[in-house]
Amino acid sequence: YIVYLFSSVLLSNELTFNTLWGNCTFINQSNSLSSKQITQIINLEIQKMYNTHGPIPINNFTILIADSKSIASKHPHWKWSLGITYHSPDKIILKDPALSKISWSKFQKVIAHELNHIMLNRIQYRHTIPRWFKEGVAMKTANEISMYHKLRIASNTNNQSLFNLSDYNNFKDMNKQEFNFAYALSSASILLLEKIYGENTIERIISYLIGGKSFQESFYNATGTKIENFNN
């Protein structure tokens, strides 16, 4: 259905521009969003991540702003997601803010969140990175971590079975409530990492990842301890 999705959009709304990560094909189905404004935001967010983490492998990627609820409906999380990122080839599908009923500032955060996934997906040992780390880093990058996420954690502290971090290495077969808690735990884990090991811990881990090490190796090199100890 992905092939159909990208072949069925109106080509008149398509443009390609250069970024630090490679050429981006941008497809805008929205009637309310300026393509020029969105492409400027995409380049700005990529520049920020480049300044923080340095260069990553160059490759072409596609970003689609979808104005239809039926787009990518086969993805289990699409009904409540604001954006979805695919790998090989790199693609981002974003819901039109008019469809998802979110503010312009929130939409910019969604763009940054999904672009962060593109960055981590280009790392050699991306398959070793747990989902909780990917989502937590994306939320931190997009400045999405809020009191809501902290309250989700606080309201479940009596249920210790929810806090086995290794259970969140992937988010498969989750309903909306479980999915939202997984995001809250991911964000809390990132905040805790920086509180325990220092405010630049995430940048250090990603630096080792970009340098060609697995997540386990990168975590140990950045923190001096094994991931299992942090999980405990």
pLDDT digit string, tens, across residues 193-212? 999 999 999 999 999 999 99
- Residues of the chain with pLDDT > 90, as a percent, come to 77
154-163 mean pLDDT: 90
149-162 mean pLDDT: 90
pLDDT value at 164 more than 70: yes
pLDDT in the model for residue 72: 62
Question: Dihedral sign, CA of 148, 153, 154, 155?
Answer: positive
Give the integer Cα–Cα distance in Å for 57 and 166.
29
The alpha carbon torsion through 166, 115, 141, 68 (nearest 10 deg) reads: -90
Confidence class for position 1, pLDDT limits 50, 70, 90: very low
Global pTM value: 0.91
Confidence class for position 126, pLDDT limits 50, 70, 90: very high
pLDDT in the model for residue 71: 73
